[in-house]
Every structure is written in structure tokens, then in C-alpha cells.
Amino acid sequence: MKTITVNVSEPVYREFQEYARRHDRTTAELIREAMDAYRQRWSMGAGSLRDLAPVDVGRVLAPLGADDDLLDEMLR
């Protein structure tokens, strides 16, 4: 195992310490697990939007007209 130094804010570190204490774990163990979860989720390849399943987000709020420009709306 490689030893590293990571700078975090005092409040964030205290939260890790408190959580670790409540769950009878070490702070270092929690941080290692958090880093591994990040690695698995983001650096192993995010994939493509084509890989995502469609999601129903509810009803249409307003129909699109012929003159609607969604790109302009997204960039605002």
C-alpha cells in the first residue's frame, strides 16, 4: 500500500473522523473506500450517453414550437 498526503478542510476531516468513530472504523479506511468508489465510478470510463437507460421525468410542461431553440436555452 502506498502512503500519500492529502490536504482537506478541517470540517471535512472532522466529519470523516466522527463517522468513523460512530461506525467503529478508522478514518483512513473510510478515505481509502471513498477513493476506491471514486475510481470505480469515474476513472474506469464513464461510458457513453448511449449506454444510459431512458428516464421518465414527468409530463411535458410546454410544447416546443417551430421557432424554439433548445441550445440557446441550455447555454443561458
Ramachandran quadrant class, 48 (left: phi over 0; alpha: psi -120 to 50; beta: rest): beta
Percent composition of the chain: helix, strand, coil (DSSP 3-state, to 5): 50, 0, 50
Is 65 part of a structural domain of the chain? Answer: no
pLDDT bracket for residue 44 (50, 70, 90): low
- Identify the domain containing residue 33 by its residue range: 1-44
- Amino acid at site 26: T
Number of domains present in the structure of the chain: 1
User: What CATH number does the domain containing 13 carry?
Assistant: 1.10.1220
Is 55 part of a structural domain of the chain? Answer: no
Q: Rounded mean pLDDT of 44-67?
A: 79
Angstrom CA distances, 33 to 30, 36, 38, 64, stand at: 5, 5, 9, 45
Rg (CA), the chain: 21
Is 72 part of a structural domain of the chain? Answer: no
Q: What's the pTM?
A: 0.52
Residue 41's pLDDT is what?
78
